[in-house]
Amino acid sequence: MEVNVQVFTGIATLILTVSMLFNPESALYLPDYGIFVSEVGKPGVRDGRIILIHFEDNNFGGKEVFATGMIDPKGITYDRSKRCLLVADVDKVWKVDLRTREVSIFLNPSDFPKKPSFLNDILWTSKGVYISDTNLNTVFVYEDGKVKTLLKLPKPNGLALGNDGALFIASFSDPSGKVYKYKGGQLRLFAKGGEINGTDGVFFDRRRDILIVSGYWSGSVVVYDLHGNVLGIIRRKLRHPADIYYDTKKMYVFIPDMGRGKLFVYKIRDDIRSQRGTVGNQEEGACSCGCH
């Protein structure tokens, strides 16, 4: 069942709930298409797929199966150069052509310096593609036609790019969730707390200098400022919020809840943070990065 609602939560309004999804893990919103959601399905079985939810200006237009043939698809990102989706799936990365919907291999296990074990999130940028492997405690980067090990840290999950070129990395830790910031070869702790226990999805808004973070175990989605201070909480008491996506123009937050089999769409309050004067187009910024 799909329900349009208007529920005010202090810093955000719930505008849409889409249910009957089978272990939804990651979301990506492209205005010309709608909301792409990866469905893990039954773990370890080739029933993974990408669902397309038709959504525009708060209006829900139904949903359909967009791509199939995957095992446990998780992070989704938009490759602007090739106009395709890239999807992380256990030990490989898929490419999905947006026009033909053809699914093909982008990166095989043998393309990695070490065989992947649990590829989780993926982030396309104009300089390279970042991929986290939660089991290997590794973040890889694909650049110049080759996959390299970028850094090691405990249980890396969600990935986001900041204003200064820094990489924000969610650490799927328990009981105190953690977000790290990596820049210039240096890794430091950016934020931690029980509200983001099992830190999963991250998205940085370059216009407002805010970082949105989901806690898979805590069931909360939290907004931080540039210094790691909590600005507010979008939602508590979700079951398992996973890889989130955020539309920097309309300030929609797309939250897949794996435990409930639902996608929640929130609208953040416009005055949560003042915008910068000019920052250009945000083509890079989150686990499911796209250009708006």
3-class DSSP state of 276: coil
| pTM of the predicted protein model | 0.92
In a domain, 234, yes or no: yes
| Contact in structure between 137 and 118 (CB atoms under 8 Å) | no
Q: Looking at per-residue confidence, does 290 or 187 come out higher?
A: 187
pLDDT at 181 over 50: yes
In a domain, 282, yes or no: no
| Contact in structure between 254 and 27 (CB atoms under 8 Å) | yes
In a domain, 291, yes or no: no
Q: Are strands 220-224 and 230-235 parallel, antiparallel or unpaired?
A: antiparallel
pLDDT at 292 over 60: no
* Per-residue pLDDT, 232: 93
* Per-residue pLDDT, 9: 55
What mean pLDDT comes out for the span 178-192?
A: 96
Name the residue among 158, 169, 167, 124 with its Cα closest to residue 143.
124
pLDDT at 219 over 70: yes
3-class DSSP state of 153: coil
3-class DSSP state of 109: helix
* Mean pLDDT of all residues belonging to the chain: 91
Domain ranges, residue 185: 2-268
* Per-residue pLDDT, 229: 93
In a domain, 279, yes or no: no
- % the chain with pLDDT above 90: 84
In a domain, 275, yes or no: no
Cis (ω within 30 of 0) for the bond into 175? yes
Interval 72-115: pLDDT, tens? 999 999 999 999 999 999 999 999 999 999 999 999 999 999 99
What mean pLDDT comes out for the span 227-241?
A: 95
In a domain, 263, yes or no: yes
Query: CA–CA separation, 285 vs 80, rounded Å?
Result: 13
Cα atoms in the Cβ-side hemisphere of radius 13 Å centred on 163: 15
- Give the Cα-Cα-Cα angle 283, 38, 246 (nearest 5 degrees): 35
In a domain, 115, yes or no: yes
In a domain, 278, yes or no: no
Identify the residue whose tokens are 């089999």.
Answer: 261
CATH at 200: 2.120.10.30
How many separate domains does the chain show?
Answer: 1
3-class DSSP state of 105: strand
Confidence of residue 59 (pLDDT cuts 50, 70, 90): confident
